[in-house]
Amino acid sequence: MVAWCLGIFAATASPAYTGEHTRQAVSASLPTASAAIVGAINIILRKATHTLVFGGLAAVTWWALPSGSSRSLWAWSFASLYAISDEVHQLFVPGRSGEVWDALLDSAAALAALTLISAFLRRRRR
């Protein structure tokens, strides 16, 4: 869990993971694509990354916590609060910005991951 958080912190502190850098990488990979296509792919990649990273954080947090009725609530709360702190952190990184919508996406991704875990465990018990 700590390693996952450190990875998020390191990635968001690096200029290599800015939206502009990702757009340039997409553009270089698809030299004949229009600016609109490059922009759409850039957004999809960036939002998918948010979803996977913060869904993963919720999952590893859930796994690290002891069993109990509020385990998922604690995992979701931690992932959501870390998402908020990450967006605040990005306000101080050149080339980055902190976005409320990204924190909301991260929180929703955490909830989705925990819902999937719960559904998987319920199905496995049957």
Alpha helices per DSSP H over the chain? 2-13, 19-29, 35-64, 71-90, 100-125
Q: Where are the domains of the chain?
A: 2-125
Counting DSSP H helices and E strands in the chain, the numbers are 5, 0
Q: Which two tokens stand for residue 75?
A: 């995992």
> What is residue 66's DSSP assignment?
P
Q: What's the CA gap between 123 and 82, in Å, rounded?
A: 30
Reported pTM: 0.89
Q: At what angle do helices 35-64 and 2-13 cross, to 10 degrees?
A: 160
> What is residue 7's DSSP assignment?
H
pLDDT class of 111 with cuts at 50, 70, 90: very high
pLDDT tens-digit readout, 11-43: 999 877 888 888 899 999 999 999 999 999 999
Q: What's the CA gap between 25 and 89, in Å, rounded?
A: 24
pLDDT tens-digit readout, 49-62: 999 999 999 999 99
Q: Which two tokens stand for residue 34?
A: 């229009």
